[in-house]
Every structure is written in C-alpha cells, then in structure tokens.
Structure 1
Amino acid sequence: MSTQNVSRTRAWLMAARPQTLPAAAAPVLVGVGLALGDGVFAALPAFAAFVGAALIQIGTNFANDYYDAIQGADTDAREGFTRVTQSGLIPPEEVKRATYLTFAAAIIVGTYLVYVGGVPILVVGLLSVASGVAYTGGPYPLGYHGLGDLFVFVFFGVVAVTGTYYVQAASILASPFPLGVPPGTVTLAAVVASLPIAAISTDILVVNNVRDREEDAETGKRTLAVRFGYGFSRAQYVGLLALAYAVPVWLWFAADHSPAVLLPWLTLPLAVRVSRTVLSETGGAALNPALERTGKLLAAFALLFAVGLAV
C-alpha cells in the first residue's frame, strides 16, 4: 500500500497489527470455557490473562517489524501487509522502544498473575516475553531458523490455554504464590483443549510463510516453507487443521464431554475454503485474504469451542 499521507496513529496501528489479536483472545476464550465447565472460572485472573496475552502479541508484532527491517528480511518486494520500520513510517528506534515498553507492560500485568499462580507463572511469563523478542531478534532468531512454528504452537497455543485455565483454578484451589503446580490446576483436558488453538494459530504463520517464501529465501530467513518447500507447508496447514477438528471428537468420545464440544465443526466450511486457497496460491493477492480468514477461523473456532466446553 502507499505510505503517503499515513497518519502517526494509523502507522502505529499498522505496527501493532490488531488483526492478529484473535491469536491472543482465542486461547483465553478456550481456557475460560473449560474453567466454566469445571467450576473454576475466575473473572479477574481470566481478564488479566487476556490483557497479558494481548500485550505479548503486540510486543511480538513490534519486535518482528523492527528486527525484520534491520536484518534485511523486509524489502520493497514484500507482498504482505506494510511494515512501518521498513517503509520509513516510524523510525526504527521508536519501534524498538515501543517493543520493550509493551513487553514491560505485559510484565506489570503479569505481577498479579504471578501472585495468583506463583513460580510456574513467573517462569512461563518470562519465557513468553523472552521468546517474543527472540522470535526475530537476538543472536539466534527463532523465525529465521525454522523454529517460529514451534514457538507459536507452544506459546500461543499450549501455554496460553493451559495458563489461562491454571491461573483461574489456582485462584480458587490454592493459596497465593504457590511454589509448584497445585493439584487440579493443570488437567489433561486443558492440555488437549489447547491443541486446536495451537494448531490454527500456527496455520496463520504457515500462510504468512508460504506467501513470503521467495523473499525469505533471498534474504536468508530459513522458515520451514523455505527449507522444505510449498508442498510441505501445504501439508502442514491441512495436517494442523485435521488435528484441530479431531480434538473435539476425542473430548466427546474419550473424555466424557457433552456433544456440544463438537460445535467448532460448524466452522469446517470456512476451513475448507481457506485450505483451497492455501493449496493453490503463492501470491499476496490471494494469501493476504487467506491470512485474515485463517484468523477469523481461529476466532470462530475458539468461541464455539469455549461454548461447547462450558456446557
């Protein structure tokens, strides 16, 4: 897009990328739904978990914008959404400063969650912030060495869902600042329920990497799409969707959940339509909308899944 006449406010919104916030909200929704179903819902820890997750997401977006630009991974040939550092809309040092201020705000919010969840949340929170910076920054950027998918799967999926459930359960079942993991605060159902969110969140990155494969290969960013090709990434996308839709079935048959847990299957037509695009396209004109639709799929799946878990 043209960067002429873009206001400062608009530029900062572009850097924050609010369209990625479903990746922060989705795990909280599922963690809340499961907590409601198990009778351990706690509003304040759940809200703090969402605010913290949103700040980490935005901080990671700022970090990606800054580090991709200074390391040369973003060029004028980029087909994705406009990056404010590379395009000159915001000076690099301002984006870097915003990155660390946002992560600092996440840590401040996290102090309450540490009070509730103790040492486990302290460790997870610090790892989440460190990984958000290390995704594209530091001496060994995760996203530049094919580890971005694992980072998203673990931190925006498994850790985010189980962590949301944990802080609610801990606020009810344990004393403040537990040193270990109190009984009943991390359940098998919470870990399994995190897998669809982890899978679809990772698929957002897969679409991004398929779209940027040629540019990433030229600039030395060795994503899985660059390392193994379009075929691998397309199989990865479909395989992760298969995992997402298999989990509700497992919870119904094997974990004695209500049939309402199958509500996310209502989103299957959207998943099929987006998959067709990912399986056949490589350019930004088609994959940018597919990226947004995968985010919408994540939000819709998470909402219906949360309802099904809460019933």
Structure 2
Amino acid sequence: MNQSKDRRRSGNPATRAAAKRQMSSGAQPRITWRNWVGGARLRTLPLAVAPVAVGSGIAYMVQDFSLTLTLLAHAVSIFLQIGVNYANDYSDGIRGTDEFRVGPARLTGSGLVNPKRVLALALTFFALAAIAGLIAVVLSERWWFLALGAIAIVAAWFYTGGKRPYGYAGLGELVVFVFFGLVATVGTVWLQTDIDLQEPWVAGAGVGFFAVAVLVVNNLRDIPTDRLAGKRTLAVRMGDRASRILYVVCVLLPFAVPALYSIAQPGMILVWFVLLLAIPASIITLTAKTPRELILVLQLTSFAALAYGVLLGIAFAF
C-alpha cells in the first residue's frame, strides 16, 4: 500500500500514470518482449530503407554502386530510426506526454520500465549507427560525412528530447523531410560517387514526402491527446481537416518523380503501381472516423513508402 502511494507521488509522470492505471484496473500490467519490440516501432523502418534503396539505384545507374557501402548506409539509417523511436519513448514518457495516450503501453510511459534502460537502448542504437557510419566513411574516405552523421544524431535526439523539442513545436515534418528524404537519398549517392546529379535531390524529395505523410497521419490520430499533453505538433496547429488534406498532398506528390523521368527511364512505369496503396490510404484518411482507421492508413503508407523507394531505385538502376 505504501509502495502504491509512493508511485502515485513519484516525480516521474510515467510512474504516476502507471500507478493510476493499476488502481483503476486492479491489476499490475506486465512488460513483455513484445513491448520491447514494439518500442522499436518496426512499421517506421520502411522509411529508413526507402531513401537508401533509391540512392543505391541511382549509384548503380552511374556505375559507381558499392554493395558494401549500400549495406552500411542501410545500417546507419535503420539503426538511427530505431534509436530515435526509443529516444521518443523515453522523452515522451518522462515528460508525461504518454499519460494521455490511448493504445498499447509505451515502455517508459507505462512506468514499469526504468527510464534509464530505455535511454540506454536508444543510445545503443545511436552508437551502432555511428559505428556503421564511421566504417562507411573510412571505406569511402568521405570524411566530411562525420559531421553530417553527428548532426543527424543530434536531430534525432532533439525531436522529442531536450528542453525545447522541435517535434513539440510543429517542426517534425520539416526535419523528417530533410533527413529521411533528401539527406538519406543524396547521402547514399554521394557516399559512392563523385558525379553531380539532380536525380538524388528530386527522388529524395519524393521519398521525403512519404515520410512526412506517415508523420502527419500519426499526429492526426493523436490530435486530441497531444492537445491535452501540450504537444503542439503540426497536426495540432493545423487542425483535423487541414491535416487530412496535407496527408493526401504528401502521399500523391511523390508521383511527380516517375512522371518527370518516365521518358528517360521506362522502368518508372512500375512506380505507378504504388498508387494501389496510396489512393485507398488517401480515401480512408479523408473519411476516417476512428483511430483504428488511421492506424490502417499508417500501415498502408509505410508499405507504400517502401514499395516506392524500392521500385524507384530499380527504375533508375535498370
């Protein structure tokens, strides 16, 4: 009983929230391996794979493709994505944002996992990304990539971390577009070739819009709880209707890329098949009434982003 009172009076909002849930449910929730895997938010990983797939396809097009450097670029992108997901879990949890969240319990927000363990896991994946990046830099001798990698890790942390996280100020979409669109795509190309091309920038923008679309629909679902938590995401600032329209724009704009390069690259016809995912996702977003429908849109958009990145890379390569 005393322990329960201590938890309710804890300075950690996540611990207080867990104590309240325990009192209301009468049962002690348990954290399992599924929660730890869930904390990695695997459905976001296609956003890490897509830009590298496009960049490697462009590198293959100019005959400067390196399988080793491509795999290292994938490792950097994926480890960074997982790291930022655990960092968000930690930062949102200790900030108390997840106290208002509806859905499966987060690791930190549940109050049942020591926040330091979640933070250590986030830092571990950031370190793995840094190691993979360092190996790529040594092999490619592009030493200035060290500064770019450091900036990427800092940006990943301050999305929800620090005193003034930019994700709480409506800037998350912009940073996601830059790093998981332009930087990841162009960086993959520059890692392998010295040839200056416009294709990585244009294709990177296409991939970036898909990444923005995923974030927009995720924040659209969370508008009510984010408002309660004081989290001023772009969706909160724009409102429900404008956010739905923004999602549709972001998920359809990427198809300007295959339209632009269809004459020079006949394989671009394959990219249009991604509309089979993008159009239903857009319709559901415009008409959705429940969070469950928006979760379906998240899944469809992640698959669409992956298919878009892979097929666009293939179109450029062959």
Query: Is TM > 0.5 for Structure 1 vs Structure 2?
Result: yes
CA distance in 1, matches of 2:214, 2:128: 25
Aligned to 1:274: 281
CA distance in 1, matches of 2:237, 2:39: 28
Secondary structure of the corresponding residue to residue 168 of structure 1: coil
**Alpha-carbon displacement from aligned partner over 1:171-227 (angstroms, at most 9, x marks no partner):** xxxxxxxxxxxx41x421111111111010111101101000011111111111111
Q: Which deviates more, 84-93 or 127-136?
A: 84-93
**Alpha-carbon displacement from aligned partner over 1:52-103 (angstroms, at most 9, x marks no partner):** 111100000001101111112112x423554111123422110011111211
Counting aligned pairs with the same residue, the percent is: 37
1:104 aligns with 2:127: yes
Secondary structure of the corresponding residue to residue 160 of structure 2: coil
Structure 1 unaligned regions, length at least 5: 170-182
Runs of 4+ in 1 over 6 A off after TM superposition: none
1:290 aligns with 2:318: no
Amino acid in structure 1 at the alignment position of 2:277? L
1:309 to 306, 310, 316: 316
Q: Does structure 2 conserve the Cα–Cα contact (< 8 Å) formed by 1:134 and 1:142? A: yes
Aligned to 1:204: 214
Amino acid in structure 2 at the alignment position of 1:121? F
2:44 to 10, 16, 20: 20
Secondary structure of the corresponding residue to residue 260 of structure 2: helix
Amino acid in structure 1 at the alignment position of 2:68? L
Normalised by the size of structure 1, how large is the TM-score?
Answer: 0.89
Aligned to 1:178: none
**Alpha-carbon displacement from aligned partner over 1:88-136 (angstroms, at most 9, x marks no partner):** 3422110011111211121111112222252431121111100000000
Structure 1 pair 195–117 and aligned structure 2 pair: CA distance change class (3 A) = farther
Normalised by the size of structure 2, how large is the TM-score?
Answer: 0.87
1:225 aligns with 2:232: no
1:114 to 114, 131, 137: 137
Structure 2 unaligned regions, length at least 5: 1-26
Residue 252 of structure 1, CA deviation: 2.6
CA distance in 1, matches of 2:110, 2:60: 45
Q: Which has the larger radius of gyration?
A: 2
CA distance in 2, matches of 1:240, 1:114: 33
CA distance in 1, matches of 2:136, 2:213: 29
Secondary structure of the corresponding residue to residue 84 of structure 1: coil
Structure 1 pair 89–302 and aligned structure 2 pair: CA distance change class (3 A) = farther
CA distance in 1, matches of 2:64, 2:28: 48
Q: Does structure 1 conserve the Cα–Cα contact (< 8 Å) formed by 2:178 and 2:208? A: yes
**Alpha-carbon displacement from aligned partner over 1:134-173 (angstroms, at most 9, x marks no partner):** 000012201100000011101011100111111121xxxx
Q: Does structure 2 conserve the Cα–Cα contact (< 8 Å) formed by 1:210 and 1:282? A: no
CA distance in 2, matches of 1:224, 1:188: 30
Aligned to 1:174: none
Secondary structure of the corresponding residue to residue 309 of structure 1: helix
Matches within 5 A, 1:99-178: 99-115=122-138, 116-169=140-193
Q: Which deviates more, 298-307 or 147-156?
A: 298-307
Aligned to 2:224: 214
Structure 1 pair 89–305 and aligned structure 2 pair: CA distance change class (3 A) = farther
Q: Does structure 2 conserve the Cα–Cα contact (< 8 Å) formed by 1:195 and 1:243? A: no
CA distance in 2, matches of 1:224, 1:158: 20
Secondary structure of the corresponding residue to residue 210 of structure 1: helix
Amino acid in structure 2 at the alignment position of 1:233? S
Structure 1 pair 150–80 and aligned structure 2 pair: CA distance change class (3 A) = farther
Residue 238 of structure 1, CA deviation: 1.4
Residue 249 of structure 1, CA deviation: 0.8
> Size of the alignment, in residue pairs?
291
Aligned to 1:83: 106
Amino acid in structure 2 at the alignment position of 1:14? G
Residue 282 of structure 1, CA deviation: 5.1
**Alpha-carbon displacement from aligned partner over 1:227-278 (angstroms, at most 9, x marks no partner):** 111122112111112320111111235xxx2221232111112111111111
Structure 1 pair 160–282 and aligned structure 2 pair: CA distance change class (3 A) = farther
What value does the CA root-mean-square deviation take over the aligned residues? 1.7
